[in-house]
Chains A and B, each alone.
Chain A
Amino acid sequence: MAKVTLEKVSKFYGNVEAVKKIDLEITDNEFLVLVGPSGCGKSSTLRMIAGLEEIDEGKIIIGEKTVNELEPRERNVSMVFQNYALYPHMTVEENLGFSLKIAGMQKNDIDKRVAEAAGILDIDEFLQRKPAQLSGGQRQRVAMGRAIVRRPDVFLFDEPLSNLDAKLRNQMRTEIKRLHQKVKTTIVYVTHDQVEAMTLADRIVIMKDGIIEQIGTPLELFETPATKFVATFIGSPSMNMISSTIKKDQEKYIMITEDGLNIPVPKSKQDVVKEGQKISFGFRAEDIVPLKFGNKPSQSWGHKSKVNLSEPLGTETLIFTNFGKIEIVSRMFTPELVRAGDELDFALNLERTYLFDDETGKAL
């Protein structure tokens, strides 16, 4: 239970700046997820909080204390790693109790705490086993148990689920969320999986190339992405993105795509674009739907196109079709059968399109 503050924190590996002057405030009991593509500096950031990497520039404050000069053991944080890193020569019980033993706690008290943690994570039955005799999911639980036994101020998770298969991953995801509700603690959780981030986080930090692209709640990021990168990163399927150029046409701005399609700039964005500007405009799959299976939005643009492929998933159907030469995806929630080769009239909801300046990558 503590808040964590990062002030202009940088990390260098030789000449490579892996983390670039990031500022971040994590409030007490918050579940904060750091997400971004591989190599963007998530682990480095986490490891600096843990004290496993030197903080090359800036300051990290946990609670009221600046921890730059403190050893990992003096920071009262617990870390859970991707490959669990259980101590293979100790039983589950010894793994769980290790930190307390090092801290010099009495055997009785250790047993009590271990039993409590084992209860929370449902690992009572394996206490006498060695890690090698556990399945992946059980190991994951033990790793989490080992972290909570200490009652740390902050939990740090570094891609804890990426070694598990899909089914177990979903299950453990739910369990981590539940754990956070039971054990009220600040959590910083690193993942490259945006679904994991969306489902777990109170707030998400999106990183790219060592900088923070955007911070916000899952819905904020989904609804108002600050950059093109955030827009394509968050949401599944990924936001459709079309490069085009702004042109004035009879007092109104329009977008001309690379394939020569002319699309009006939505009313709300008429004032922010200028002649000749290179932009990308994006729209989510559910905002372009076949006309005959949906309602026509008030501000829409019609597009006739052949279906390349359709994926009926039950509650929804994904339709892959062309937008000029670029393939886009449309999602409809009506259980109608669509076949490859069908020619459909699509309606693009212009009010729900996003415009990004190509030079800065920022939303317009």
Chain B
Amino acid sequence: MTKKQINNILIWISAILLIVLIMTPGLWVVITAFRPQVDIMAKPAVWIPRNLSFNQFETMLFGGSEGSMGRSKVPVLSYLRNSLIISLVSTFIAVLIGTLGGYAFARHNFKGKNTYFFLVMLTRAIPGISLSLPIFILFSKIGIIDTHLGIIIVFVALNVPFTIWLTDGFFRQIPRAMSEVAMTDGCTRLQAFWHIELPLSKSGIASAGIFAFLISWNEFAIVSNLARSTDSKTLTVGLMDFTSQFTINWPGMCALAVFIIIPALILTFMVQKHLVSGLTFGGVKG
């Protein structure tokens, strides 16, 4: 065997190990969602799945026959509604603000631009959870605890910096001359942006949007503090409903987890192409 072949084999083995490492927990969640509690708790573990059923999903969505633990009345549909409203609205606002911000950073020269950019990016270095107590106090003072609005504000703040970073890199890739021609061609600055630069950075903006959506969709730590009831609890926070003082409804929790993962997965597959070109294109800054 040549050195190159050995190298190839080593790369393959490491890749497979890595994939197994990443995939196993996810796979286990999926399997658990379809199993009865006995199998889940069995010791030694039951490795090969048996007695699979959709009971958990029926209970979850339609409140159907009682789940195996007999008390799985989690208001999943309310949570789904909250998740959708919060994620979609916050993504829309974050992408709107972030794209305009990214365009400004890419195209305008103003004093202290680099410092501003650095500060905006610095906000991403602060762990969100460390802010959750101050945010909680602030929000309770102005009365937006446990509302969509409060959580949307937090998510917008969370997502704007990343959107700015991504779209800034993207707009930089578009030759300035293009909007300049457009402006001598009769466009206002805004028209040049709308007709030329925006269509050319579609995939960058789309990837920014997907990232923002996924971050909002998956966020747990901050929402778990801010959301108190079915008025604003999201799916991820809803997972905690399956725990009680002494027991955890594992199958129910995993069923909901699967339910959360599916849209994210579909979304990722749908826009995979955009995502890759978006990230590589935007990533290489000029």
Q: Are B177 and A99 interface neighbours, CB within 8 A?
A: no
Give every chain A residue within 8 A of B184 (Cβ-Cβ): 50-52, 72-73, 75, 77-79, 156
Which of A81-89, A211-219, A258-266 lies at the interface? A81-89
**B97 CB-CB contact with A under 8 Å:** no
Task: State the CA gap A38–B182 with chains docked (Å).
Answer: 26
**B180 CB-CB contact with A under 8 Å:** yes
Q: Which of B178, B184, B191, B199 has the most CB of A within 10 A?
A: B184
Q: Which of B175, B181, B186 has the most CB of A within 10 A?
A: B181
| Interface residue SS majority, chain B | helix
**A166 CB-CB contact with B under 8 Å:** no
Task: Report B179 CB to chain A, min CB distance, Å.
Answer: 9
Task: State the CA gap A103–B195 with chains docked (Å).
Answer: 13
**A21 CB-CB contact with B under 8 Å:** no
* The one of B175, B177, B186 that contacts A102, using a Cβ cutoff of 8 Å: B186
Q: Are A103 and B175 interface neighbours, CB within 8 A?
A: no
Interface residues on A, range: 20 to 34
The answer to whether A71 and B183 touch (CB under 8 A), given A83-B175, A85-B175, is: yes
The answer to whether A52 and B180 touch (CB under 8 A), given A88-B200, A89-B199, is: yes
Q: Are A73 and B181 interface neighbours, CB within 8 A?
A: no
Task: State the CA gap A78–B199 with chains docked (Å).
Answer: 23
Residue of B nearest to A103 (CB): B186
The residues in A between 90 and 130 inclusive whose CB is less than 8 angstroms from any CB of B are 98-99, 102-103
* The one of B177, B180, B185, B199 that contacts A98, using a Cβ cutoff of 8 Å: B185
**A146 CB-CB contact with B under 8 Å:** yes
* The one of A85, A88, A102 that contacts B187, using a Cβ cutoff of 8 Å: A102
Interface size on B, residues (CB 8 A): 17
Task: State the CA gap A99–B200 with chains docked (Å).
Answer: 18
Q: Are A85 and B185 interface neighbours, CB within 8 A?
A: no
Q: Are B186 and A85 interface neighbours, CB within 8 A?
A: no
The residues in A between 17 and 74 inclusive whose CB is less than 8 angstroms from any CB of B are 50-52, 71-73
Give every chain B residue within 8 A of A150 (Cβ-Cβ): 185-186
Q: Are B177 and A83 interface neighbours, CB within 8 A?
A: yes
Give every chain A residue within 8 A of B182 (Cβ-Cβ): 87, 98
Give every chain B residue within 8 A of A156 (Cβ-Cβ): 184
**B196 CB-CB contact with A under 8 Å:** yes
Give every chain A residue within 8 A of B175 (Cβ-Cβ): 83, 85
**B188 CB-CB contact with A under 8 Å:** yes
Task: Report B175 CB to chain A, min CB distance, Å.
Answer: 6
Q: Are B200 and A146 interface neighbours, CB within 8 A?
A: no
Give every chain B residue within 8 A of A98 (Cβ-Cβ): 182, 185, 195
Q: Are B180 and A79 interface neighbours, CB within 8 A?
A: yes
Give every chain A residue within 8 A of B180 (Cβ-Cβ): 50, 52, 72, 79, 81, 85
* The one of A71, A78, A146 that contacts B188, using a Cβ cutoff of 8 Å: A71
Give every chain A residue within 8 A of B188 (Cβ-Cβ): 71, 73
Task: State the CA gap A35–B178 with chains docked (Å).
Answer: 24
Task: Report B228 CB to chain A, min CB distance, Å.
Answer: 47
Task: State the CA gap A71–B184 with chains docked (Å).
Answer: 8
The residues in B between 181 and 230 inclusive whose CB is less than 8 angstroms from any CB of A are 181-188, 191, 195-196, 199-200
Q: Are A73 and B185 interface neighbours, CB within 8 A?
A: yes
Task: State the CA gap A79–B178 with chains docked (Å).
Answer: 11
Q: Are B185 and A146 interface neighbours, CB within 8 A?
A: yes
Q: Are A146 and B183 interface neighbours, CB within 8 A?
A: no
Give every chain B residue within 8 A of A78 (Cβ-Cβ): 184-185
Task: Report A93 CB to chain B, min CB distance, Å.
Answer: 15
B: which residues have CB within 8 A of A? 175, 177-178, 180-188, 191, 195-196, 199-200
A–B pairs, 24, beta carbons within 8 Å: A51-B184, A52-B180, A52-B184, A71-B183, A73-B183, A73-B185, A73-B186, A73-B187, A75-B184, A79-B181, A79-B184, A83-B175, A85-B181, A87-B178, A87-B196, A88-B200, A98-B195, A99-B185, A102-B186, A102-B191, A103-B186, A146-B181, A150-B185, A150-B186
